[in-house]
Amino acid sequence: MGKKAFGAVVAAFFDEVAATFEPLARDLDLVGPEIDTVVLSAASYHGRGIQYEVMLNSRSMTVTTKATIGIESKDLVADLGDLVQAAGIAARNHVPHNAHTLASLRHVLEAHATYIRQIHPRLTSQTAIEFMHAANAREWNRG
């Protein structure tokens, strides 16, 4: 894939995330995007006890989305593909990641937003911790 095509992806990433996730954020009462460019280009949205982070990896030309919930002094973090599989929606490899072109970036972001809409109720329910563990969530100590 040409560098020019991916250059368009990098340049448009934050605008495309904002455009795709704005209706989702509004419907799910999430705040964002908060922009981070320290290591990876990332946009995050957060609500009551939940955070979604959408990241662009320039080396692999992929988009990854993670969900984080806080419990006591720890955070549980799971990849969207694992959450989708744990919810029984689809196999994790059905969640698209490749964003080599602007069209593929848009496809990935739309798919990720759709999956988030489907799993969000599970991540904000009384069984959220069990759901995160079923999705092989990693535990990180805050602090």
**Which of the four pLDDT bands, split at 50, 70 and 90, describes residue 4?**
confident
* pLDDT tens-digit series, residues 36-85: 988 789 999 999 899 999 999 999 999 999 999 998 889 999 999 999 99
- Going by the DSSP 8-state scheme, the letter that residue 135 receives in this structure is T
Question: What are the Cα distances from residue 20, in Å, to 26, 66, 109?
Answer: 11, 16, 7
**The pair of three-digit structure tokens given for residue 49, joined into one six-digit string:** 């006890």
Mean pLDDT of all residues in 12-37: 95
Across 25-34, 51-60, 134-143, least confident range: 134-143
> What is the CA 128 to chain-centroid distance, rounded?
17
- Going by the DSSP 8-state scheme, the letter that residue 94 receives in this structure is G
3-28 and 102-123 helices cross at what angle (nearest 10)? 30
pLDDT of residue 72: 84
* pLDDT tens-digit series, residues 97-124: 999 999 999 999 999 999 999 999 999 9
**The pair of three-digit structure tokens given for residue 63, joined into one six-digit string:** 């988009």
* pLDDT tens-digit series, residues 72-95: 889 999 999 999 999 999 999 999
> What is the CA 57 to chain-centroid distance, rounded?
13
pLDDT of residue 98: 96
Residue 6 has pLDDT above 90, yes or no: no
Based on the number of CB atoms within 10 Å of its own CB, is 101 exposed (0-12), middle (13-18) or buried (19 or more)? Answer: middle
